[in-house]
Amino acid sequence: MSEMFLAEIDREAPGTLKALERVPKDKLEWRPHPKSRTLLEQAHHVASLPAFAALGLKTGKREMGTRPANPPSPDFVATFNKAVEDFKAAVSQATDEQLLSETFSFTMNDKPVRTWSKAEFLRNVVMNHFIHHRGQLTVFLRLLDVPVPAIYGVSADENPFAGGKP
């Protein structure tokens, strides 16, 4: 199972890096809607989610409503590269038995609110969540008129199969 998650992060990382590299630093406080995250918050969330996986595998829980003490770093590429490194290290050490039998819980006041096996945690809470928010980030880029990278094939701005032409 760990090999599957490692291969998946290797497939997803290049497209994510392309999106993070295109985040305009002069628009970090922009948000598409009052209920939405800022561009800074969204890009940082995408960049740091693989590290959340590493921490979740180690601790087995996350207290709801807690936020990091430090403000998000606008160095999204470095944050993401370190997060992927942490993800790979943690997942490489996990056995199939641990992924299937050990649990991860979201807690509130140290009481479990929702619990999954660590394998389900990696699939649903980390990878699906990570890909979802990367998709939102590409919409932010489109709304800011920043060329959207081709992630799974082509985009309206980039076609790697046509010599880089849209």
Report pTM.
Answer: 0.91
Residue 125: pLDDT over 90: no
Number of structural domains in the chain:
1
Say which amino acid occupies 106. Answer: F
pLDDT range class, residue 160, cuts 50, 70, 90: confident
Give strand ranges (E) for the chain.
61-63, 103-108, 111-117
pLDDT for position 73 = 85
Helix axes 39-59, 76-93, angle to 10 degrees: 20
Say which amino acid occupies 124. Answer: N
Q: Could you list the residue range(s) of the whole structural domain that residue 59 is in? A: 2-162
Are 132 and 123 contacting, i.e. CB atoms less than 8 angstroms apart?
Answer: no
The CATH code of the domain that includes 23 is 1.20.120.450
pLDDT for position 13 = 97
pLDDT for position 63 = 86
Taking only the tens place, the pLDDT of each residue in 39-82 is: 999 999 999 999 999 999 999 998 887 776 677 889 999 999 99
Residue 147: pLDDT over 60: yes
What are the phi and psi torsion angles at 160 (to 5°)?
-65, -15
